[in-house]
Amino acid sequence: MTTAMTAPVPAPGTAPGPGALAAPPARTLVVVGGLPGSGKTTLVRRLLGPGVDGVTAVDSEDVAARWRTGQLVPYRYVRPLVHAAHRLRVLAAVVGPAPAVVLTDPWTSRSWRPVVLRAAALAGRGVRLVLLDVSAADAADGQRIRGRRIPEGRMRRHAGRWERYLPGAGTGDVLVVDRARADRLTLADLLGRPAG
């Protein structure tokens, strides 16, 4: 089950804090996409912290952390279950009641993207893509830093699909940023809303 990340609502008449939104988010799905290790989870955790009222964050790292088995079962055997559980969480959140859903996903799967986008359309959600344009080498460094690397062959496949996807990522609400720009994004930038 996906748990909404929530934070206390400021008292009436008080000024909003840094990164506060001028208005609650509309029914929106924000997909933070990029190669594994590009900084998706870091960005979302920096901006949402312990929670933001009305925003549900869905990140596969949360599922993976719960399913870690240590040395008992190698992660490669658990990974399909983690992916399935994560995808069920994603779809439940997208059709759920939260005004805004922020999803971190490599966004490289040609079969998964339309499923998510269709669920968002059926749920009446607008979609915003925030795509981290990070080289495969920099993403591999990000994986090394976080202490969890994906196999080289899988990374090559992700990188190849990302290189083909990114140039035609679509029209509409798409924001493509490099890692330096991602470090400067605000919550309002992420959600595509005016700051308070």
Which pLDDT score, from 0 to 100, does residue 75 have? 73
Cβ atoms within 10 A of the Cβ of 29, count?
25
Distance CA 5, CA 22 (A): 19
pLDDT of residue 69: 59
Residues 6+ apart with CB under 8 A from 116: 29, 31, 90, 91, 94, 103, 105
- Is 70 exceeded by the pLDDT of residue 11? no
DSSP 172: S
Pick the residue with more confidence: 188 or 11? 188
**Are 101 and 56 contacting, i.e. CB atoms less than 8 angstroms apart?**
yes
Q: Whole-prediction pTM value?
A: 0.81
**pLDDT of 19 strictly over 70:** no
The secondary structure of 35-81 as a DSSP string is STTSSHHHHHHHHHTT--TTEEEEEHHHHHHHH--TTSS-HHHHHHH
Least confident of 24-28, 68-72, 179-183, 188-192: 68-72
Average pLDDT (19-32) is 71
Residue 164 clears pLDDT 60, i.e. is over it: yes
pLDDT in tens, 85-141: 899 999 999 999 999 999 999 999 999 999 999 999 999 999 999 999 998 888 888
What whole-number distance in Å separates Cα of residue 152 and Cα of residue 186? 33
Q: Please report which confidence band the pLDDT of residue 23 belongs to, taking 50, 70 and 90 as the band edges.
A: low
**Domains, the chain, ranges and CATH?**
28-191 (3.40.50.300)
